[in-house]
Structure 1
Amino acid sequence: MVDSVNSYLLVGGYGMGVHCLRYDADGTLSPVSVVDIADPSYVIHDGARGVLTAVVEQEPEGRVASARFTIADGASDVRDWTASGGAAPCHLALHPDGTTLFVANYTSGTVSVFPVDQEGRVTGDQPAQVVRHTGSGPRADRQEGPHAHQVVVSPTGRWVLAVDLGTDSVYVYEYDPAAGRLAHHSVVELPAGSGPRHLAFHGSGRYFYLLNELSWTVMVCAWDEGGGVGKAGAAVDSRAAQDRAASDHCWCAAIRVSADDRFVYTSNRVDDTIAVFSVLEDGARLEPVEVVPAGGSWPRDIVLSPDGELLFSANQRSDSITVFRVDSGTGRLTPVGEPYTITTPASLLPISG
């Protein structure tokens, strides 16, 4: 059951600060505080050290901002002058050892590496390393060059996976903790025109689920943590059959795995829907359950509450967050309450007080 006293949601977006909202057991959202960072499209939170870090998604040069953060007061001592190592940074991940931050820069197709000090803050005014992807895909409108869209640290922390929409690839880098650097190791190659956007690991660490923005599919990929090698497998549609027939494009956005590894959820823009899948065969297969309206326009991100009872959808173009009750037995979604109004939400992150 959601703890109504200690359950909060960080909201990143465009042209706005990072908003901290409280959510109650019935899904009701209410404002608490704001962190004054511009265009913080994706946010992470280091609860142990009380630090919030966000990418500042701007061009031609993006930035990384960090701040000491408290739920009640927001933040003080915001630092936002660190160059991101590319254009339009859109995702970031902190290594579990707490010493290194990784950033995906979408427009420039680069992955940047930053040292993090003992206080949890990014150090220096430039990244320590910038890895540049090369190549393109068949979609001239979206794949004219590399577009790094996400960075994910593998279950043991040995590997960093970079999802590149422009080159139909997931690049695997080995992380050297002593040097704080990445070395190219392998590539998961996908069907041309897939346009991979985000991935999420199954709890076993033997599979990850890859959401392909341009082909509207979720792909089950086998993963060998020891060898740092992934293999693309079967794919299922993220959108409903009638939506696929009605439109020749659908920009899938977010993918989440439930904490008990029984369900996978994805969001579809254009269609403005959320798809639900059952996880079968210990993670090896996905089976569609339902596709439901997101309750708003352009669901850029979705996230589950830690207890799995609620799902939140950040609807960027309708300036709203919608809330769903999750059926623990079937994974199905039921909307609850009224949409919460907030300007251009782009990412969501549950935290505890």
Structure 2
Amino acid sequence: MRSSTGFLLASGLASQALAAKLIASHFSGPVYTLDLTLANATSGTLKVTGQTSGCGRIPSWITIDKASNSVYCFDESWYGSGVLAQFAADDEAILTPKASAPTLGNSVFGALYGGDDDKSFVITAEYSPSTITTYKLPLSASSKPVQKLSWTMAQPGPRPDRQDKPHPHGAFLDPTKTFLVVPDLGADLTRIFKINKATGELTACPTAASLPGDGPRHGEFLETEAGLRYYSLNEVASSVGMYNVTYGADGGCLALDLVQTLSTFGDRKGTTTEKAAELRIAGEYLYASNRNDQKFGKEQDSLAIFKLNKADGSMTFQELTNSYGYYPRPFQVNAAGTYVAIGGQTTANVAIVARDAATGKLGPLVANIDLPPRGTYGGEDGLSAVLWYE
């Protein structure tokens, strides 16, 4: 077994700054600022240095724009109305409510796009209304949607309990920032839109199908030697799909072609009680979070690690590693590639895990903090999001 000293040297952690800040949200309402202080590269502490409210009743997702010291928060309230909130961050990443706009609620994701700076509009994905909605920035109490698109299905998908109707669950900019891809968990497809940067208007392109019962939820792009690839985290099937990306001539549509799908459990398929949540790419490695596999003991779920072939982007499953929490919904690798912040949804904890940037392996638990109240099994409660503020 590799020693902690060996892990330290191989991952370049010795030169890592010994402090960092994170932003986390809880389904019960609070949005937190967290400070990570390291005694050394593999041992540290997390503490709450700031707490605010203002993101409605059920904060579900956060987006950080460090350039403008802004944090955007999206409300999943399913009571017929919600809030889209903007917070200003000071030098210590302490958040102050800056602006908010009313929404229809049930927003599970949000992202900035459009304009000369690619940050002039914001898109939200509404799970149960089967809609996406766009707003112009800056926000105000009188903000109105720029555009709202909705969908229906003629019949349920292969998993009627999860795929009763369309359920958009994200919105991801391509590297040119001229297209948005929207994974639809309920309809087993990824919707693709061309962006009018001046007006924020979205024009639909042909959709890209996943495998039946996949339930796409989250995604990321990666440039390879053979061209651009898009990776889809599929919640219902607990799998990751890799798509080749092409662009139409003369400003035509972006297209996705599915070429590989692997289980987030390696040599077995996920069960109906297991649910993949997010994926992240760091260097030549892809990580995916698995909820409710309890691979490492009671309330200790896993993260899957895949090696990405730098030539063509194809995936090879490597191993499962401990997430140090139950229902790991959100996670993110820091910019240096040396730590991973993992949010346990049900255990309502944030775990910091060391990462070896050379091998992609995740190492020891460096720090952990509980942010009560903890969630309930299968409930939409507990910790909802965590991101590095950098």
* Shared fold per TM-score greater than 0.5: yes
- The two structures have a TM-score, normalised by structure 1, of 0.90
Q: Return the alpha-carbon distance in structure 2 between the equivalents of residues 253 and 103 of structure 1.
A: 18
Write the letter of the residue equivalent to 2:144.
Q
Q: How many residues align?
A: 342
Structure 2: distance between partners of 1:346 and 1:98: 23
* Partner-residue secondary structure (3-state), 1:322: strand
- 5 Å-filtered alignment, 1:310-329, equals 310-329=339-358
Kept in 1, the 8 Å contact 2:82–2:106? The answer is yes
Structure 2 length as normaliser, TM-score?
Answer: 0.82
The alpha-carbon distance between structure 1 residues 284 and 122, as it changes in their structure 2 partners (threshold 3 A), is farther
Structure 1 portions without partners, runs of 5+: none
User: CA RMSD, aligned part only?
Assistant: 2.0
- Contact 2:34 2:50 (8 Å CA) reproduced: yes
Q: Read off the aligned partner of 1:255 and give its amino acid letter.
A: L
CA distance in 2, matches of 1:251, 1:161: 21
**Equivalence map 1:126-145=2 (5 Å):** 126-135=144-153, 136-145=156-165
- SS of residue matched to 1:48: helix
Distance of 1:47 and 1:322 partners within structure 2: 22
Give the Cα–Cα distance (whole angstroms) in 2 for the partners of residues 249 and 241 of structure 1: 17
Match of 2:75 in 1: 56
Contact 1:277 1:288 in 2 (8 A): yes
Identity rate, percent = 22
> Which one of 57, 69, 94 corresponds to residue 89 of structure 2?
69
For residue 248 of structure 1, report the CA deviation from its aligned partner: 4.0
- Corresponding residue number in structure 2 for 1:180: 200
Match of 2:377 in 1: none
Three-state SS of the structure 2 residue aligned to 1:192 is coil
Please give the alpha-carbon distance, in whole angstroms, between the structure 1 residues aligned to 2:342 and 2:97.
Answer: 30
Say whether 1:41 aligns with 2:67: no
Q: 1:103 aligns with which of 113, 124, 128?
A: 124
CA distance in 2, matches of 1:122, 1:237: 43
Task: Please report how far the alpha carbon of residue 337 of structure 1 lies from its aligned counterpart in structure 2 after TM superposition.
Answer: 3.4
Shift of 1:72: 3.2
Give the CA deviation at 1:292.
Answer: 1.6
Correspondence 1:185-200 to 2 at 5 A: 185-200=205-220
Residue by residue, what CA displacement relative to the aligned partner does 1:108-161 show, whole Å, maximum 9, x if unpaired? Answer: 1111111113xxx46743211101122242211111111110011111111011
Question: Do the aligned partners of 2:244 and 2:258 also contact (CA within 8 Å) in 1?
Answer: yes
Any unmatched runs of 5+ in structure 2? 1-14, 294-300, 373-381
Distance 1:183 1:73, change over 3 A: closer
Amino acid at match of 2:148: V
Change in CA separation of 1:71 and 1:320 when aligned onto 2, cut-off 3 Å? farther
Cα shift at 1:284: 2.4
Task: Evaluate the alpha carbon distance shift between residue 313 and residue 52 of structure 1 in structure 2; reply closer, same or farther with a 3 A threshold.
Answer: same
Separation of aligned partners in 1, 2:122 and 2:105: 17
Partner of 1:235: 261
| Distance (Å, rounded) in 2 between the aligned partners of 1:264 and 1:183 | 30
1:167 positional shift: 0.2
Q: Which amino acid aligns with 1:56?
A: D
1:88 maps to which residue? 106
Structure with the greater alpha carbon radius of gyration: 2
Residue 16 of structure 1: which of 29, 33, 36 is its match? 29
